[in-house]
Structure 1
Amino acid sequence: MPSILIVDDESIFRKGLRKMIGGLDGDWTIAGEACDGHEALDRLEALAPDVLLTDIRMPRMDGIQLQRLAASRQPGLLTVVVSGYDDFSYAQQSMRQGARDYLMKPVEREELARVLDRIGEELRTRRGAERRAEAGWQARPEMRRHLAGHVAEALLAGRIGPGELELLEQMGASFRHPYFVCLVINLDKHSVGEERYRSGDPSLFQLYIQQFAQEMLDRHAEGISFVLSETKVVALVNRPTPEPLRAGADSLAEMIRRQISSLSRLTVTIGVSAPAEGLAGIPRAYGEAEIALLHRLIAGGDCVLDYAEVGGRRSAAGEAARRSADRLEQAVLQGAPASIRAEAVRWVGELCEAARSPEAIHQQLCKLLLRCYELAEELGAASAWLGGQDIGKQLAEVCAISSREELSERLQELLARLAAAIAQARAQRERDPVASASRYIAEHYREPLTLRDVAEAVYLNPAYFSNLFKQRTGETFIEHLTGVRLREAERRLALTSDKIQAIAEETGFAHVRHFNRVFKSRTGASPKEYRERMKGSAEARSR
């Protein structure tokens, strides 16, 4: 994704730009910041950003000098200049030096989005031409790996854009079919050996596995694979029909596992998702493959775990324990603490009576908690339940318990937290999102709020929230936010002797000039005139 270096001698302005850019829909990365031209030149060399967003007037070296020197050091760098109303002649000079656009201070979010959209399109067009001009680049495995890594995050997070789609097409992964199956391939560290793993480069193991996976995809299916972490490789299989991948010894996942095992001293465990439709379904498929892979704690390593199969497995430790597990799940969903405690004690007792070994108890415990994790994910409560901790770590901690009493207490604690997290998630969804958004704005209007910030606070998609807010209130998000800020500013102008600049900053306006302009357009008077008018009215009433 394209990157930006922000240059301005005012830290508050740099912070405001960073916040605005982070809230835009485009996939932009802030490469860094600089407080003047000298620092910017050093950072350009270290960071090599795609875009330079610089103020015109700065100490030591102004924006025009910076632009001239930066162009000589980094050909192809695109520059956008920012200037005040009094600096427009400087902006004209900068445009003659090759700047792509200019923004007037204070920068408006919509204007910034317009400029960056156009710059982003220019970068995508340029990069596409460069890739096409490079002879035989599709056949270069290092280029393929680099591009795969670039789009991996966007694919799995559901944020794929036109630029990433173009990269995929250039790689030969055009995704011409409507369905996807996700494979998460996990290296079994014990097959490497602790000493060998620590002495080598972990990324080389993943690269080795990814090459095997891609070879199998190219020979037997359609799709793309990429390295996800030091222990995982992800493969996306693109399919014309919604049928699951074949199970058994001739399945694609099993062929990948056998190929790696037979040609190396490595073993892997593979989680396989159910089919998902469209690019929007890829995050769900990835989550299912991850959940299937978690059953490695139960099944052991060096195997293929299918989400459809592991999700339907039942306990073999006794029918009574199975019925207790069902009752325990219902108690969690109902949010009944007393029932959770009673059913947890009963379940652990029946499980321990029926199981033939401690390992069997831990297997059933993992199955129960993984089912709870799936419920939490479905209801949007997983993060609150685990406090950001990985479910795998929780399972490992639980499986280290050897006392029946301690196991029962730990289970009660976990499930009581889960019930509370589910209840909180339900309450958040059931609240009026527009009323919640209005309260959130009233509490945070002093901050550089964006529509995305408020939408996330009420758990809605930004586009949907924007339409819903306008329908319900009759005004846009920006109009409402500005109204809240101006009403507070009017109150303080009328009732306090605070400086106008302080009122502007403390009611959420990035710059006093912007505050003056907006205030006058809404009230017909400048802040100073409004204060004098209100003071005169108060004196007249007191006579």
Structure 2
Amino acid sequence: MNHILLVEDEPLFRKGLAKMITGSETNWHVCGEAENGQEAEILIAERLPDLVITDIRMPLMDGLELLKRSKAKFPQIEFIVITGFQDFQYAQAALRYGALDLLIKPCGKQDIYDALDKAEIRVLEKQANLRKAETEHALLLENTLRGLLLRFPYRAELAAELEVGLAECKLILFQITDFMPSHKLYMKRDMPLLQFAVLNMIGELLDIYHSDGKLLLIENGQFALLCQDSFEEKLLCEAACETVERLLGLQMSSYCAGAASGVQDLADLYEAGRRKLGSTMVAVEGQNDVQVDKQLSTNRAQQQLISTQTIAFILAGQIESMKLYLAQLMKDIYGLSVENGKVEALSFSFALQDTARKQFELAYDPQLLTERIALLHACSTNDEVSHWTGMELDRFMSSFIAWQEKYSENVVWKAARYMEEHYAEQLPLQLVASQVHLNATYFSHLFKKETGRSFVDYLIELRMEKAKGLLANTDMKITEVSGVVGYDLPNYFAKLFKQTTGLSPKDYRKMVRPDPMSNVRN
């Protein structure tokens, strides 16, 4: 779900706008309100909304100044500026400062919804572009790492970036002896599929052993893993070799080449490790090493991008968009040759499996994986590959539905109890959602459905009830009460208290604790 901050000095208009957005079927949630730019600047830094809707004319700091200052610090945040006809020249300046859209008062529901739709498209595009850029950069770093191991030319700034994370890392090598053992019916064209499967099997084990190592294919049959020096590699190596032989029928050997003090040591370690393992791999005539390396690296990066994008859709509650995204990926696979389609289909499957494990807490099932890879290997037409891919998607969606049903029971009660126990602390929605093992967006929908109030409104009401008790029964200063119930800014606390009770904290205390001397004087 995307978050909006509303900045408007007219309370009725601001509240009406908040109610309109909250009651709509859009993917926007009002995460805060401010009545001037000064308040808004604090809330923007605290809550990092995706969108700010602000009036231009306001006391203390106007909308233009807020736009200029916020865009300088947080360029990713979008702004929609509300103005009157008489301020149109200021609105033109707002566009120059980076506002996404303008709304001219009086503006109707449809005008606001259209502006929100436009903002949502922009936010989603930015998020997708950021994920794509991060994936492309990760692929560039992987190619640089491969270049360091093979003594190929590389860019110094990328090597320097790798140096930060690779100091004192162990280099572990894995080598496939023969891709076409006599007891299997593998052929030369199966090598990309088999190597990609091996790459992901080792990757799955890294997750199981809680290692953040960098794993990559170096040359045909040669894999390298760089992991922290404190990591016990013996168990992983044994498990990897046993898993690959059991699931794929391939013999694989491993060797720990030692720890690198820096990237300059990697090539020497790699070459020493290759000599130790020996040139035992059976050569496959006509196989282009470099081409396979590039293809599988791209597939691996694409797999990680699919997983990240799918999780993003789930966290945003955009399930229909996720289905359309995955359906388009299936369509793209169908347009490839059978052999390339198999590798892409396996990449797609591993991405869904990675998503299910991270998001749905789905256990890794190597036996099921073996059966599925065997079925994919047997595919000989595009239609068969497409059918296999569809089965993988169906399995993923079934896991998603089961996950939703499992954690929707009693989670609101558990979350409310957690909030009751921790109301004095910082309680962002994501933290409370994590306590009941749900993604933030789904939890937010469920919470409002069960309580009739948004998470933010419920938390404010809870804190105000605690504040009322402290004001009525203690002599704590109002600034102290503010801190005890979770607000660092006393003025902000006082504002929320008055919005909730109709009285300032001081007036409320006078009402519930009248001056004892008043009766004496009377």
Q: Could you say which TM-score interval applies, normalised by the shorter chain?
A: 0.3 to 0.5
Q: TM-score scaled to structure 2, two decimals?
A: 0.36
